């Protein structure tokens, strides 16, 4: 009788598919263009890698890997938050030595931005999602792996915000590409 060869162990459960996701403010073309121009200009002085124009964003809450079956729950949690539209100005460029990134940010964090982040965090907690809990430092990464700039020029980019988005990070042949999975309008803010 022929001896049966060793069979590979059969999987008893299907592999769990995960999506790498985060909530973000997604700039319109004029904000995106202005930031990308600044990134290219800064790149001449401090090297590194310019963030892809289409990837520029401001993270609200970073979640990381979530089982794809739970994405609908994440959508419901986000859809339930109350937030208001607002306008702010990106008026600061900066550099962090610990991760060698050059970033753009508002010098003072607008109240409605804090409220959206707070509402998302409590909605996520209630729905049982884990997320990054480091103190919130809103910024848009422009360059990665950059040298410290000798001087940082001024910045003045107004940004009217009327929605927020759930974004998925997908690998492609150029690295990570960020895709908007869903977005939610913000209620008109007080004038």
Q: What residue ranges bind ligand 2AM (CB under 6 A)? A: 22, 59, 62, 101, 132, 141, 169
Closer by beta carbon to ligand 2AM, 152 or else 189:
152
Comparison of 38 and 59: residue with beta carbon closer to ligand 2AM: 59
Structure token digits, residue 124: 């996520």
CB nearer ligand 2AM, residue 83 or residue 138: 138
Is residue 15 exposed (0-12), middle (13-18) or buried (19+ Cβ within 10 Å)? exposed
CA 19 to mean position of chain CA atoms? 14
Least distance in angstroms from the C-beta of 13 to ligand 2AM: 28
Which of 176/187 has CB closer to ligand 2AM?
176
In the complex with ligand 2AM, the residue whose CB is nearer, 87 or 130, is 130
> Whole-angstrom Cα distance, residue 175 to residue 39?
18
Q: How far is the CB of 132 from ligand 2AM (least distance, A)?
A: 3
CB of 59 to ligand 2AM, least distance (A): 4
Residue 61's region, left for phi above 0, alpha for psi from -120 to 50, else beta, is: beta
Closest approach, Cβ 32 to ligand 2AM, in A, equals 14
Q: Any residues with CB less than 8 A from the CB of 102 and at least 6 apart, and which? A: 39, 42, 46, 48, 93, 94, 95, 141, 142, 143, 146, 149
Cα 80 to chain centroid, rounded: 20
Smallest gap from residue 62 Cβ to ligand 2AM (A): 3
């Amino acid at each position: 009788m022929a001896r049966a060869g060793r069979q590979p162990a059969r999987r008893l459960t299907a592999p769990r598919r995960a999506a790498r996701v985060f909530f973000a403010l997604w700039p319109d073309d004029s904000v995106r263009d202005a930031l990308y121009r600044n990134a290219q200009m800064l790149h001449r002085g401090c090297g590194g890698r310019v963030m892809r124009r289409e990837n520029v964003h401001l993270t609200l809450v970073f979640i990381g890997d979530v089982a794809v079956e739970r994405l609908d729950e994440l959508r419901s949690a986000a859809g339930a938050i109350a937030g208001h539209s607002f306008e702010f100005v990106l008026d600061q460029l900066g550099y962090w030595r610990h991760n060698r990134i050059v970033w753009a940010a508002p010098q003072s964090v607008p109240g409605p931005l804090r409220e959206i982040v707070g509402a998302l965090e409590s909605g996520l907690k209630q729905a049982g999602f884990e997320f990054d809990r480091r103190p919130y430092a809103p910024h848009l990464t422009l360059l990665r792996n950059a040298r410290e700039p000798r001087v940082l020029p001024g910045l003045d980019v107004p940004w009217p915000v009327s929605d927020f988005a759930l974004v998925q990070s997908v690998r492609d042949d150029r690295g990570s590409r960020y895709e908007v999975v869903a977005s939610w309008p913000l209620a008109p803010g007080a004038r």
